[in-house]
Amino acid sequence: MLHAHDFWIVTALLYLHRTYLVETLMRWPEDPLRSKFALSVLAAHRSSLLIIQGLGQLHEQLADLIPRIAFLYLHAFSAYVRAISLDGLHFTHNAKQVCLCAIVIRSPGCALARSSLAEIDRAKGLFVHARTYRVTKAMVG
């Protein structure tokens, strides 16, 4: 279970390491884990997974309340994709905020791609539920 204190630590780690993740995916797309920024790649990946899993756990416990707390979804979206600037399939230098989707798109053969893709599917379900919840409640209220 990801506690509130842990959530903020993991979120800070994500924001700290994502620039190095982008740099690595631009320079070493074949195998980012062999770059000099491999530890940052792992930290950003692990932080992304924990944020999305934590939101999923909260969603299981408080399904009607969690969609109302927008900032949780903001951080989950950062872990998911946040502002990927792509030129074809190549990153531009302005792409400083990416995570799971970037790993799958830029380095599909990477050892982290499979777990990233699984969490992308999980996160998509959370976002769809939040959107459905907000639309349904707006129509009722």
End-to-end CA separation in angstroms for the chain: 33
pLDDT digits (tens, 9 = 90+) for 42-86: 999 999 989 888 888 888 888 777 777 777 777 777 777 543 433
Average pLDDT over residues 19-23: 88
Give CA–CA dist 117/6, Å, rounded. Answer: 23
Give CA–CA dist 80/101, Å, rounded. Answer: 6
The domain limits of the chain are: 4-140
Whether 14 and 78 have beta carbons less than 8 Å apart is answered as yes
* In the chain, % of residues over pLDDT 70: 79
pLDDT over 90 (residue 35): yes
- Alpha helix segments (H runs only) across 1-141: 4-27, 38-61, 70-80, 100-106, 113-140
Give CA–CA dist 25/76, Å, rounded. Answer: 21
